[in-house]
Structure 1
Amino acid sequence: MITLRRTTSDNPDFRELVALLDHDLAVRDGDDHAFYVQYNKLVAINHVVVAYLADKAVGCGAFKEYEAGQVEVKRMFVRPEYRGQGIAGAVLAELEQWARELNYAACVLETGKQQPEAIRLYEKSGYAYIPNYGQYAGVDNSVCMKKGLATTQV
């Protein structure tokens, strides 16, 4: 059973997973990797979710405020040997719920064309393609997406 823990970027399990993510991205992105690294610092990220299976950190994700009313989803990763078990979807859903609780109206994100499994996850989770925003405008390898976080009435 997956256990999700809300934490911050100071969490050592999160930092270990991000090191694995950065290694994976360096391989996928090749020469473009240096451009992306500058936008993926771990300083003072206050909204991090780490997924555990049997007390082993197997996946993570985070968000930070992008602009008023919107957060940017960052640092999504699942260890390769644990992929295909719904962990990334659970982490993403928890991040979205946390953003809702903090009264954010939408999530935006950027991913790379070399990450088709991430693109499929976001499509399946209700994210729509948007023009590349901010530092990603005009970057051919980047794919930007957005999802509204309308609260559901019970």
Structure 2
Amino acid sequence: MGISIAVETPLQDDVRAMVVELNGHLRPLSPPEFQFQMTAEQMAGADTTVFIARSGAGAALGMGALKTHGEKQGEVKRMWTRPAVRGTGVGRQLLAAVEAQARRTGIARLVLETGGTPPFAPVWRFYEAGGFRRCGVILDYPDTDYSRFYEKLLAQEEAAS
């Protein structure tokens, strides 16, 4: 499958539709107070870089974002691939694009928050396969069983190479 991944604005109808799909998927999995979703408008902020995966025909297939927190820490946000392309590598390519952007901007630690209940097990495996390791609570998220936290220390990887 020929796909392209590029930095794009989330303020496009097809990207907004993916945000709605992602939110709809997540809504029944955790109580609302433990869902930390970004709107398309928040994703368009200067602190966030949004990557969109598109088919050769231009259809939006997935998204992922890097939100910066200071000079050395970045957060993976809004990772989503449409169900029809799951298992094809689109998600891995999006995560690689986010990580490459983090490295280009000098981020030393990449973190993320995801759901902590059993329906999120495939997500945990995805991030673990991408080199992320579980860690304690990150940023200003609450310490709850509804969240699971991961980190990837980019500076250590570069020092080891």
TM-score by length of 1: 0.87
Q: Is the 8 A contact 2:5 2:51 kept in 1?
A: yes
Partners of 2:106 and 2:73 lie apart in 1 by 9
Partners of 1:26 and 1:122 lie apart in 2 by 21
2:128 to 123, 131, 139: 123
Letter in 2 for 1:58: L
Residue equivalent to 1:56: 59
Residue equivalent to 2:19: 18
Counterpart mapping for 1:19-38 below 5 A: 19-29=20-30, 32-37=31-36
Partners of 2:39 and 2:149 lie apart in 1 by 19
Partners of 1:11 and 1:97 lie apart in 2 by 24
Q: Is the 8 A contact 1:107 1:149 kept in 2?
A: yes
Partners of 1:14 and 1:62 lie apart in 2 by 12
Aligned pair count reads 151
Letter in 2 for 1:145: Y
Letter in 1 for 2:71: A
Cα RMSD after superposing both structures: 2.1
Partners of 1:102 and 1:12 lie apart in 2 by 29
SS of residue paired to 2:101: helix
Partners of 1:11 and 1:5 lie apart in 2 by 14
Q: Is the 8 A contact 1:25 1:33 kept in 2?
A: no
Residue equivalent to 1:144: 149
- Identical positions, percent: 32
Counterpart mapping for 1:61-100 below 5 A: 61-100=64-103
Structure 2 gap segments, 5+ residues each: none
TM-score by length of 2: 0.84
SS of residue paired to 1:136: coil
The offset of 1:34, in angstroms, is 4.1
Q: Is the 8 A contact 1:59 1:78 kept in 2?
A: yes
The offset of 1:33, in angstroms, is 2.7
Structure 1 gap segments, 5+ residues each: none
